[in-house]
């Protein structure tokens, strides 16, 4: 069984540590030790991620959502799941690609369309063009205006007692 010990992660070197003792399942002390190794590893990955993208690591390591290390973290104005952090580092994603993907997925969400995960984005999955997104935004505005007019019409008839 191999473990990554983050304290040995320095200057881009990754050291794998093989413990002398194999941890037993369901022993509270061993489980707790494994969890701390996991948390330290998550923070080491976060540190590499922050360095790559010029986020403030000292701030980010305090900003795991709900204190749950290894789940979702706030880096500046952005929120990333651990799978995004791992994918970005593992795939050595090009500079700027992370935030292009992030902005695209936010736009997709606001348009109620399907986005994609970061791994698929990096592999070139199909995406809406800016023209297609503009068309959807225009249609959304038409729907919103029609809904407003419908509510006004209904309110007018309700005022008359119907």
Neighbours of 115 (CB within 10 A): 19
Q: What is the pLDDT, as a whole number, of residue 94?
A: 96
CA 93 from centroid of its chain's CA atoms: 15
With a cut of 90, say whether residue 160 has pLDDT above it: no
At 53-88, the pLDDT tens digits run 999 999 999 999 999 999 999 999 999 999 999 999
At 5-50, the pLDDT tens digits run 444 443 444 444 455 555 556 677 888 999 999 999 999 999 999 9
Token pair 């606001």: residue:
110
Confirm if 47 and 57 have CB atoms less than 8 A apart: yes
Q: Where are the domains of the chain?
A: 1-90
Q: What is the pTM of this model?
A: 0.72
Helix, strand, or coil (residue 129): coil
């Amino acid at each position: 069984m191999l473990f990554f010990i983050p304290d040995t992660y320095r200057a881009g070197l990754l050291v794998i540590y093989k413990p002398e003792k194999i941890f037993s399942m369901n022993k509270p002390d061993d489980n707790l030790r494994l969890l701390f190794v996991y948390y330290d590893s998550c923070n080491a990955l976060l540190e590499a991620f922050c360095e790559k993208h010029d986020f403030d690591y000292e701030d980010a390591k305090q900003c795991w959502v709900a204190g749950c290390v290894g789940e979702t973290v706030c880096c500046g104005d952005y929120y990333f799941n651990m799978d995004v952090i791992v994918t970005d580092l593992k795939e050595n994603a090009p500079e700027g690609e992370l935030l292009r993907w992030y902005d695209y997925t936010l736009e997709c969400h606001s348009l109620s369309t399907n986005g994609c995960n970061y791994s698929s984005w990096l592999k070139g999955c199909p995406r809406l063009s800016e023209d297609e997104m503009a068309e959807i935004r225009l249609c959304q505005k038409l729907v919103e205006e029609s809904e407003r007019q419908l509510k006004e019409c209904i309110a007018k008839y309700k005022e008359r007692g119907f």
